[in-house]
């Protein structure tokens, strides 16, 4: 990469300007119940980690066919804010957490009045809204891409010209490229705003992107933090396609990203696992894009590659246990498996023959999420390729991608 920008020289965080005092925390006894909001693949993997550590999981997810139904010790297929469900959940569980951030605030707040919710309801709410999220980053001196908040059609006239070309994103409920429009000129902005429903949006300047990385960090109630290796991410059709860990970026960039992540969790007094996604532009400027207050797709490799996975760490924080060792044991490449692979011949969905595809491929570890219906763009599973050397893991991943008809892995940082 080119010479690094001075903006990446992050000043040390001064002790004492945020609250780092340890908070009292109850350590859960073996067999205790943990309440979990959400029942997708993240919730399923959380259940596996909780069971390994001796805890039971009571999950809520409106989908009666959610993957977690085969993993959780108790499950409610109701709306998250169903009063009867919340009452039963409060009676059963001793602590609570989430597997995705878009749980109604009212439900989280009600549970938080009766038991510890980690992360806190306010931290989750910040991550629910891009405007709140960006305001939080900016308030604490964390670099972000220039943006403008659009609340109504009347606001469109005030959007600065220097933001074009840009990306219009809904402030809430956008993920995997949903709720986004590329807008090259002011004339197209009004049309894009209407296409997104005229809801609260942010309009971000479209930077010249070199690559994307993510930082996975955990913080507990005692104020202790632990970070995993920086991950290098590649997207296809706005959905995460490949994660490479450790990321092939200069140590100066990795160190800056780690420092920004530490600042974020400390100023929030955060409790849980947090993932922050970063942009790196062609001038090697680093920008915080968004954060997820939970385990993240780019951290799935930690199940095999690290001493403590992101899911075990989430359980540890929620249960009041000491943080686990996040040392990466070996390099890893994670490849997402989308529902498109089930429709390779544009006919009825047909699951790939994984046995044949992975035959003779060393270090390949297949995870299928147990979703009953395959859809294009739907995350159905992932494969993690581990090897003593990163190049070996990359070769194994490329061999399987070729069999699946997927494009070669690019290297945006070369």
How far apart are the C-alpha atoms of 353 and 349, rounded to whole Å? Answer: 13
Burial zone of 91 (CB within 10 Å; 0-12 exposed, 13-18 middle, 19+ buried): exposed
Instruction: Read off the pLDDT of residues 110-166 as tens digits, 9 standing for 90 and up.
Output: 999 999 999 999 999 999 999 999 999 999 999 999 999 999 999 999 999 999 999
At a CB cut-off of 8 Å and minimum separation 6, what does 79 contact? 62, 85
CA angle 302, 212, 386 (to 5 degrees): 30
Q: Scanning the structure block, which residue is given the tokens 């990466």? A: 328
pLDDT at 6 over 70: no
| CA 273, chain centre distance (Å) | 9
Residue 73 · residue 57 · CB < 8 Å = yes
Output the average pLDDT for the chain. Answer: 92
Instruction: Read off the pLDDT of residues 156-192 as tens digits, 9 standing for 90 and up.
Output: 999 999 999 999 999 998 666 678 999 999 999 999 9
Nearest residue to 241 (alpha-carbon basis) of 335, 175, 376, 178: 335
Mean pLDDT of the 57-79 span = 97
Q: And the tokens for 55?
A: 């805890």
Domain architecture of the chain: domains with CATH: 33-115 (3.40.50.20), 146-205 (3.30.1490.20), 209-404 (3.30.470.20)
pLDDT at 307 over 90: yes
Residue 32 · residue 55 · CB < 8 Å = yes
Nearest residue to 32 (alpha-carbon basis) of 74, 67, 71: 74
Burial 343-380 (b: 16+ CB within 10 A, else e): eeeeeeeeebeeeebbeeeebbbebebbbeebeeebbb
How far apart are the C-alpha atoms of 47 and 317, rounded to whole Å? Answer: 14
How far apart are the C-alpha atoms of 137 and 114, rounded to whole Å? Answer: 30
Residue 40 · residue 66 · CB < 8 Å = yes
Q: Scanning the structure block, which residue is given the tokens 């385990």? A: 295
- In sequence order, the β-bridge partners of residue 232 are 213, 244
Residue 210 · residue 414 · CB < 8 Å = no
Any idea how long the chain is? Answer: 414
Under the banding of pLDDT at 50, 70 and 90, the label for residue 23 is low
Q: What is the DSSP letter of 349?
A: -
Q: What are phi and psi of 57, to 5 degrees?
A: -125, 130
28-31: long-range contacts, CB 8 A cutoff, minimum separation 24: 28/55, 28/94, 28/95, 28/319, 28/320, 28/321, 30/54, 30/55, 31/55, 31/56
pLDDT at 400 over 90: yes
Under the banding of pLDDT at 50, 70 and 90, the label for residue 14 is very low
Q: What is the dihedral of CA 292, 294, 300, 306, to 10 degrees?
A: 120
Is the pTM higher than 0.85? The answer reads yes
Q: What is the pLDDT of residue 3?
A: 39
Q: What is the pLDDT of residue 179?
A: 87
Mean pLDDT of the 66-90 span = 97
Residue 139 · residue 76 · CB < 8 Å = no
Instruction: Read off the pLDDT of residues 327-379 as tens digits, 9 standing for 90 and up.
Output: 999 999 999 999 999 998 777 789 999 999 999 999 999 999 999 999 999 99
Instruction: Read off the pLDDT of residues 211-243 as tens digits, 9 standing for 90 and up.
Output: 999 999 999 999 999 999 999 999 999 899 999
Residue 228 · residue 317 · CB < 8 Å = no
How far apart are the C-alpha atoms of 241 and 252, rounded to whole Å? Answer: 26
Residue 407 · residue 392 · CB < 8 Å = no
Burial 255-266 (b: 16+ CB within 10 A, else e): ebbbbbbbbbbb
72-79: long-range contacts, CB 8 A cutoff, minimum separation 24: 72/36, 72/39, 72/43, 72/47, 73/33, 74/33, 75/39
Burial zone of 207 (CB within 10 Å; 0-12 exposed, 13-18 middle, 19+ buried): middle
How far apart are the C-alpha atoms of 218 and 59, rounded to whole Å? Answer: 22
């Amino acid at each position: 990469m080119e010479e690094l920008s001075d903006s990446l020289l992050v000043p040390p965080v001064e002790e004492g300007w945020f609250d780092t005092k340890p908070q009292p925390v109850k350590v859960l006894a073996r067999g205790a119940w943990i309440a979990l909001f959400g029942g997708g693949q993240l919730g399923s993997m959380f259940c596996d980690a909780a069971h390994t550590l001796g805890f039971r999981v009571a999950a809520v997810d409106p989908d009666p066919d959610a993957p977690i139904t085969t993993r959780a010790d108790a499950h409610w297929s109701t709306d998250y804010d169903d009063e009867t469900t919340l009452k039963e959940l409060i009676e059963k569980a001793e602590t609570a957490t989430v597997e995705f951030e878009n749980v109604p605030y009212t439900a989280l707040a009600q549970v938080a009045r009766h038991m510890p919710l980690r992360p806190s309801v306010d931290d989750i709410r910040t991550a629910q809204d891009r405007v709140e999220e960006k305001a939080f980053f900016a308030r604490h001196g964390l670099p972000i891409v220039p943006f403008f908040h659009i609340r109504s059609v009347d606001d469109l006239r005030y959007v600065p010209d220097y933001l074009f070309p840009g990306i219009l994103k809904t402030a809430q409920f956008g993920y995997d490229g949903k709720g986004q429009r590329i807008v090259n000129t002011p004339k197209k902005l009004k049309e894009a705003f209407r296409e997104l429903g005229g809801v609260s949006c942010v309009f971000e300047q479209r930077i010249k992107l070199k690559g994307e990385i993510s930082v996975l960090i955990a913080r507990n109630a005692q104020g202790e933090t632990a970070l995993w290796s920086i991950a290098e991410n590649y997207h296809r059709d706005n959905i995460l396609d490949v994660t490479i860990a450790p990321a092939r970026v200069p140590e100066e960039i990795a160190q800056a990203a780690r420092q920004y992540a530490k600042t974020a969790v400390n100023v929030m007094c955060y409790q849980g696992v947090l993932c922050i996604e970063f942009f790196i532009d062609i001038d090697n400027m680093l920008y915080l894009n968004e954060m997820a207050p939970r385990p993240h797709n780019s951290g799935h490799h930690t199940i095999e590659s690290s001493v403590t996975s992101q899911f075990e760490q989430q359980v540890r924080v929620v249960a009041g246990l000491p943080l686990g060792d996040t040392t990466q044991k070996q390099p890893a490449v994670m490849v997402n498996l989308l529902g498109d692979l089930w429709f390779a011949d544009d006919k009825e969905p047909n699951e790939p023959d994984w046995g044949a595809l992975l035959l003779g491929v060393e270090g390949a570890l297949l995870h299928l999420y147990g979703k009953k219906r395959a859809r294009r763009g739907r995350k159905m599973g992932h494969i993690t390729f581990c090897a003593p050397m990163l190049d070996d893991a990359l070769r194994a991943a490329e061999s399987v991608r070729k069999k699946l008809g997927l494009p070669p892995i690019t290297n945006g940082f070369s």
